[in-house]
Structure 1
Amino acid sequence: MKTSDADKKATSPLKILAISFLLTNAVFANAHAEGNSSADKSGDYAVEIDSLIKETSPRSFNGVILITQHGKTIYSKAYGYADFENKVPLKLDDNFRIMSNSKQITAALILREVEKGRIDLHSPVRKYLPDLPQAWADKVTVHQLLNFSAGITEIDQPLSFQPGTDFLYGVTTYAMLGHIFEKTSGKKYIEAANDLFKELAMDNSFCYEEGKNNNVINGYVNSKNVFELKVHPVQGQGWVDFIPAGGIVSNARDLNAWDEKLHKGKILKPETYKLMTNYDISSQHVAFGAEKNGYGYGVYVSDKTPIKYIGHSGKGLGFASIKMYFPEKDVDVVVLENQFSEDSALHYYFEIKIREIVMNSNLLR
């Protein structure tokens, strides 16, 4: 449809600019709040988070936030783009790569094998992976793989320290756990994880498989608020091995459902859940503050803070995330971003700020 000369004259440059500004803000600030965000319950942190995610320095926020209490949504936002090239706004139900948050799913699958008597946490990995040539396979235990106290850097390298004496985070240990699970269960890891998601009605969660039509939004590298698409590198068997450590796709609602069911006894038996959330090793992680927190099985356990929380983080391939559950107040927080900052100091900038806002809010008093 052509625009007439009269229409062109009627639309001044200032009017065009005003309309453009309003449309741009309406799309980019695509922030839809659900549940009660009124001042009586959540006004303090809701206002603070609303203000925080509009900041553009030191970087912009681009993601979704979901906060629940007693299973009810009390704050939710989707802010920014799922696809910058085509200016597609984010939605709360969009699927993200959750990266290292995948480890919690792997830990739960291993613990279900423990419940069935198929895995002994304190047996050496040689029992389950007899073909490993490394001598350390006779002394590193499944427990030490789960809590990163094994000292493993690479499968063909010597240990960095005596097992059980220190903490060393990495991919290799959870790749090994994936293989151990397959040996004891007789099922492929991908099949078992996807079956678990179906069992839990996590309908948007799945293992990312190369060569398949995976329903996941774009991930980006953010360099001074310029977003460059991060393309998935094809890795073949290397990617299959990586899935138990960081290859799962999910969304905010599904991850909230996972936390609700995990922490309320719907996935593991009480005694097994206790094994998962107890710890005998600690480590500092930037997303959870300057102090060391305990590390259980696929979970950080912060019980030295004024109010306890259990959570994990994940980053890579153009994504960053954090999720935390506060058992004393039955509050769950999920933050997912489809961007990965070029400046490593800013990877978790907003995730840290949101954690601090929630922890200092009236929600947890």
Structure 2
Amino acid sequence: MKKTFLCIFTITSFISVGISQENSKKIIQQAAKARLDSTLQSFVKNGEVAGASALIYENGKEVYFNTFGYADMENEIPMKRNTLVQIYSMTKPITGTALMTLYEEGKFKLDDPLEKYAPEFANMQVYTGYDSIAGEMILEPAKRPITIRDITRHTAGFSGRRDLPGLGEAIAEADALNRGNTLSEMAKKLSTVPLGYQPGEHWEYGISVDVQAYLVELLSGQPYAEYVQEHVLDPLKMNNTRYFVPESDRKRMSSAYRHEGNSLVQLPNEEAHAYNYTKWPLTPGGWGLTSTLDDYMRFAQMLINKGTLEGIQVLDSSTVKLMSTNHLDESIEERSWLPSKGQVGFGIDFAVRLRPPASVQENNGVVGEFFWDGAASTLFWVDPVNELTAVFFVQILPYNGSLHKRFRDAVYGPIVLPKSQQ
């Protein structure tokens, strides 16, 4: 284990702001339900979204569900419980789960070099600048190999910085995430692009989880889509979670929306759903799945049950604990926009809450929770302290984190800081 790049934080006690231990097992009471209804309804009424829905379980039981507004505003089709949405990056925790089933089989160790299994990632070069006179990137060798831990916590060095001269052009030319690529082709193209920083030194969100999907193929000998279906989706009976949506189910797909000035605009379905209405060679690990509230709640319930749902074990409890523990050493100071999520670190495809909110403007939540969200502003989290899981669906682009702040406050109540912080 390379201690320079790893620091595990163990949550040993319940610490929270605005949430008392006395009612820690009774979060969703009548007041919370009223707040939730009012909040979701306000998102629609204010024109922030066309439709919103939420599902919350506490102590293994459904304690809240409601929908407001439209899945298809133009045709006045309401948001429903079985509405299919594009979950974008909420695909990532599912991929991480698939990968960790292979970890449990002893197929790899987290600190193994990625090149051990994917030799195209050996001898990577790292971008340090651009020589405008010579018209070429300035590169240096990677100080150490990319590890599998790196691709599970976004410290591999892969960059999406299109604004960096030379590197931006190299990223565009490689076109690794072109839908026509297989995962193998994606990896080969990605490996030709210099890293944006030394492995383990920065946190930069991106293509790492697509590399995880490729690694699943290498380790299992199966196409990724088949493996995740067989080992995660089918065991959890997540029958509506998939890349390709057949024509018979497309009437349940929510449209996607964006704002133009003060107006909410519905994107053409042929544009918004182009990936999910065609069977493409690329089955990315980082995005692409569609799901329903109930399907994704089954995934969240498996996690809060420490890897098991309805007698079916997907992961060992120790693996869930490993995934939901912070893996970001404090020495990794450059973390892009991760701090905007609150007082968090990062585990294996989840953000992990380490400290209570430091201000009333931050996202509400409980120390020990783990969560992630998606580009169309979807969200889920697992709160082991209160045995609570929440799934929140909207379809608004670009990502709107203020919706999550208000939804979390509706669940837990307003943040109340200690007097010393007020």
TM-score (norm 1): 0.77
Distance (whole Å) between structure 2 residues aligned to residue 245 and residue 213 of structure 1 = 26
| 2:293 matches 1:252 | yes
| 2:223 matches 1:188 | yes
Report deviation, 1:349: 2.6
CA 1:285/1:74 → structure 2, altered by over 3 Å: closer, same or farther? farther
**Aligned residue for 1:220?**
256
CA 1:331/1:114 → structure 2, altered by over 3 Å: closer, same or farther? same
- 1:281-324 Cα shifts (integer Å, max 9, x gaps): 175757x8564411111111113127221110101xxx320001
In proportion to residue count, which structure has more helix? 1
- 1:107-152 Cα shifts (integer Å, max 9, x gaps): 1111111111112221111111123465258700111001001121
**Aligned residue for 1:53?**
40
- 1:51-81 Cα shifts (integer Å, max 9, x gaps): 2223233724512101110121111111111
Report deviation, 1:98: 0.8
CA 1:77/1:289 → structure 2, altered by over 3 Å: closer, same or farther? farther
What number of residue pairs does the alignment pair up? 314
SS at match of 1:244: coil
Distance (whole Å) between structure 2 residues aligned to residue 272 and residue 133 of structure 1 = 28
**Aligned residue for 1:158?**
194
Q: Would you say the 8 A contact 1:276–1:296 is kept in 2?
A: yes
Mapping 1:1-365, distance limit 5 Å? 42-55=29-42, 56-57=45-46, 59-60=48-49, 62-132=51-121, 135=124, 139-153=145-159, 155=190, 156-170=192-206, 172-195=207-230, 196-208=232-244, 215=250, 217-223=253-259, 224-230=262-268, 231=271, 232-233=273-274, 240-241=281-282, 243-265=284-306, 266=308, 267-281=314-328, 283=335, 289=340, 291-305=342-356, 307-308=366-367, 309-315=369-375, 319-341=376-398, 347-360=400-413
Alpha-carbon RMSD across the aligned residues, in angstroms, is 3.0
SS at match of 1:131: helix
The alignment-based identity, stated in percent, is 21
Gaps of 5+ in 2: 1-25, 126-141, 160-170, 172-189, 309-313, 358-365, 416-422
Distance (whole Å) between structure 2 residues aligned to residue 126 and residue 305 of structure 1 = 38
Gaps of 5+ in 1: 1-38
CA 1:102/1:268 → structure 2, altered by over 3 Å: closer, same or farther? same
TM-score (norm 2): 0.67
Higher RCO (C-alpha under 8 Å, 6+ residues apart): 2
CA 1:335/1:69 → structure 2, altered by over 3 Å: closer, same or farther? same
SS at match of 1:159: coil
Decide which structure has the larger Cα Rg and report it. Answer: 1
> What amino acid does structure 2 have at the position aligned with 1:100?
S
Report deviation, 1:335: 0.3
